[in-house]
Amino acid sequence: MARYLDPKNDLVFKKIFGEHPLLLKDFLNALLPLPDDGQIIELSYLPPEQIPIVPPENRRGIVDVKCTDQRGRVFIVEMQMYWTPSFFNRMLFNASQAFVMQLDPGEEYKLLQPVYALGIINAIFEQSEDWYHHYKIVNIEKTHRIIDGLQFVFIELPKFKAETPSAKKVRALWLRFLKEIKGELEPPAELSDYPPIQEALTISKEAAFTRAELAAYQAVMMAISNEKSIVTDSIELGIEKGIKIGREKGIAIGLEKGRQEEKLAIARNLLAVLDDGAIAKMTGLSVDDVRELRLCQK
């Protein structure tokens, strides 16, 4: 039985979508909200110098594919293996860079083409049933008015279900491929019967990788696992520390309240024999507190 590597892994994802433009074209047409007359017909990968610059410390667990189509539109694809709060900002940064880098010095702005950024996240970042999130620049009051420059699509892969009404057939097949394929399980017939995914399955077979590539694959999976552990441990430590601080503050507040009640009790016993100033000095209460206490006793 064939064993399949996880297509969400950096190495496998790039091998499938970063080296086979026909598969990437089918993938983007399925997942992006392109109009019927705006489908990608041809695409080519942009040279390395056109890839947005991302600091090395932010590269773990991320995969990039950047290409342009027959119209000059730019497409960026990132696969995020675990969620981080900075992901949206990084996608905005990358897409903005891709938009700006289209022009050489002196070229006219009218040459700029739209940039589409697709982020697939193998985690849940929003507490709702929605798994497909489409953003673009619109007029707040008249949303039909659009600035056609940047568009973003974020997909929460764990939430996706094939029977979701908004999941078109080919889109559902590609998302199922990303979500379900891993290990020795036999791919469902509906996936292997679709030619582009059949090719992607062949590429992702463990037997198709060299020893060096398999070692790199395992290193990526280990790094992602470690990153997740660090984040989880940090969250648990933060919760534990918060509970401890809250408990300590609660104890401190309780003790202070007890001391105040003790002072008031002593002051009540002294009201009949000492003046307000003397009682305040003896108990540590303010003179105003003592006066208010005396008024309450009348």
> Is 220 domain-assigned?
no
> Is 225 domain-assigned?
no
pLDDT tens digits, residue range 274-284? 778 777 777 77
Q: Are 282 and 264 in contact (CB under 8 A)?
A: no
The upper half-sphere exposure of residue 194, i.e. CA atoms within 13 Å in the direction of its Cβ, equals: 19
User: 182, 209, 236: which is the final residue of a domain?
Assistant: 209
Q: Does the pTM exceed 0.75?
A: no
- Token digits for 83? 């969620």
From residue 264, alpha-carbon distances to 94, 102, 255, 268, 276 in Å are 65, 76, 14, 6, 13
> Is 155 domain-assigned?
yes
Number of folded domains in the chain?
Answer: 2
Are 43 and 134 members of one domain? Answer: yes
> Is 237 domain-assigned?
no
Are 168 and 266 members of one domain? Answer: no
> Is 29 domain-assigned?
yes
> Is 263 domain-assigned?
yes
User: 146, 177, 209: which is the final residue of a domain?
Assistant: 209
Are 292 and 147 members of one domain? Answer: no
Parent domain of 131: 10-209
Q: In which residue are the tokens 């060299």 written?
A: 210
How confident is the model at residue 221, as a pLDDT? 82
User: What does the alpha-carbon distance between residue 246 and residue 242 come to, in Å, rounded to a whole number?
Assistant: 6
> Is 241 domain-assigned?
no
Are 173 and 81 members of one domain? Answer: yes
| pLDDT tens, N- to C-terminus, the chain (298 residues) | 789 999 998 889 999 999 999 999 999 999 999 988 899 999 999 876 555 544 444 444 444 788 999 999 999 999 988 788 888 998 999 899 999 989 888 899 999 999 999 999 998 998 888 999 999 999 999 988 999 899 999 999 999 987 766 668 899 999 999 999 988 888 989 999 999 999 999 999 999 998 888 888 888 888 777 666 655 555 556 666 666 666 666 666 666 766 777 777 777 777 766 778 777 777 778 888 888 877 877 6
Are 73 and 184 members of one domain? Answer: yes
